[in-house]
Amino acid sequence: MKKLLVLSLAVVMVVAFTLPASALESVFGGYWRTRAFSQQNFQGDSDLGRETTAAAGAPGDLSRTDTRTRLYYTAVLNDNLKFVNQFEFNAVWGDDEGGDIGADGDTFRIRSSHVDATMGAIRATIGIQPIEIGRGHIISDQMSGVILRYQMGEHLLPFTWFKVNEGFTDTNSEDSDVVGFYPFFNFSDKFSLNPYVVYGYSNDGDRGAANAFSTYGQNAGTGPAGFVNDDGIGVYWVGATLNATLGSFNLWANGTYVGGELETTVAGVDDVDVAAWVASFGGNVPLGPASLHGQFVYASGDDDPNDNDYEAYFGVDGAAAGWSYYWAEIMGNGRFDANSPVGTPGGNPSNVWFGNIGASMKPMEKLSLTGDLYYAALPEDDANGEDTLGFEVDLVATYQLVEGMTIDLVGAYLFADDAVSIDGQNEDDPWEVGTRLQISF
């Protein structure tokens, strides 16, 4: 990472000092936030300590303050060529990676570093860059690859290729890639359609038992039983997203199917056929000084972990990154995404369905209030035979302290059922309180 950082900064300096001053425009921007929050009973039992729950694979109680800084620099070489960079610093107050006395943190990250070139009707972005397909159910993250966008009137036709894993050692020899075509058809300012087809594939390499099934599925421990070393992965996602405005209603819908095959080299373990899906819809409508919003999401689960079919939905995944769909503050990661309670999917909806209804209003110019109610359950029973997560109530107040700076006050409570537990017997309800101060420029 340090070598990549030095190389990126060197390229920026070379470009800046070799071009005439009149030929280069520098654009700076950024984002900063500091959060303080407490997440309690996320293991479903207040009698379990942090060490006990960590050993059992469940999140322990957590209270902390952290800071994130993102700095953006774009070198505009001309109207058709840009060099885009985004850098990130993170620190938890009191840790030894920048949050302790003396600071000197080693948490510098490169979020983006890519060329943005326009050649007639084609725009190419090449390098480390963000991507989102399928409202995040397939991928919503940074990636290293290429996006080619062809502008055809009001319609946009993007094609992408990016890497998930590059195997170059004896313990990590798997090469994994993704290609996708996801056009945006804008028929009017009130109706658009975004169909897509995405294909992920790998060779017969090995990422090791610690990363079993992590390339295109969920992390180790939640994939097909016994699936450790593969002899090739070929999975595909097909679906579409629709956005429409009907009068004062803004509506959206999405559906995605993932299929394919996972070939294994493990003796006595058969190949796995993938057949999973996710469907969602939602919308909002203004009602005078307030607005109502809601959504419904259903992500399939696996009915039998011991058969040759894998039916739990998943997106493109690379060691706990990739597909991401944040929803409730507690069950869906929300603004404080350090933990999600045991038994809940967090920001990766799989084997879950949930419904949401909420309202937002601005009682005064600088203050907005939002309230949400969620109900969530599991399509397939968990290992303890439970299938109900419960009701969650979220309350958020956002106030503009000064122009450009806002503060969020968040309170959330999950009226949990027995699926939110280690042993199938929920003892205590998870709750969360916190605040977030942020600026962008």
CATH numbers and ranges of domains, the chain: 120-325 (2.40.160.100)
pLDDT digits (tens, 9 = 90+) for 246-256: 999 999 999 99
The pLDDT value given to residue 236? 93
Q: Would you say 233 and 202 are in contact if contact means Cβ atoms under 8 Å apart?
A: yes
What's 10's DSSP letter? H
The pLDDT value given to residue 216? 46
The pLDDT value given to residue 165? 78
Per-residue pLDDT averaged across 321-335, rounded?
Answer: 92
Give the Cα separation of 210 and 220 in Å (integer). Answer: 6
* 305 closest CA partner among 240, 251, 226: 226
Q: Would you say 16 and 23 are in contact if contact means Cβ atoms under 8 Å apart?
A: no
pLDDT digits (tens, 9 = 90+) for 110-132: 999 999 999 999 999 999 999 99
The pLDDT value given to residue 95? 81
The beta strand positions in 203-271, using DSSP E, are 230-246, 249-264
pLDDT digits (tens, 9 = 90+) for 60-98: 789 999 999 999 999 999 999 999 999 999 999 988 777
Given CA atoms 4, 5, 10, 16 in this order, what sign does their dihedral have? Answer: positive
Residue 440 in 3-state DSSP? Answer: strand
Where residue 132 falls (left for φ over 0; alpha for ψ -120 to 50; beta otherwise) is: beta
Token pair listed for 121? 């009707």
pLDDT digits (tens, 9 = 90+) for 409-424: 999 999 999 999 988 9
Question: What is the DSSP pairing of strand 309-310 with strand 272-287?
Answer: parallel
Give the Cα separation of 146 and 129 in Å (integer). Answer: 9
- Spell out the residues 6+ positions from residue 55 whose beta carbon is closer than 8 angstroms to its own: none
Identify the residue whose tokens are 């803004």. 250
Neighbours of 4 (CB within 10 A): 11
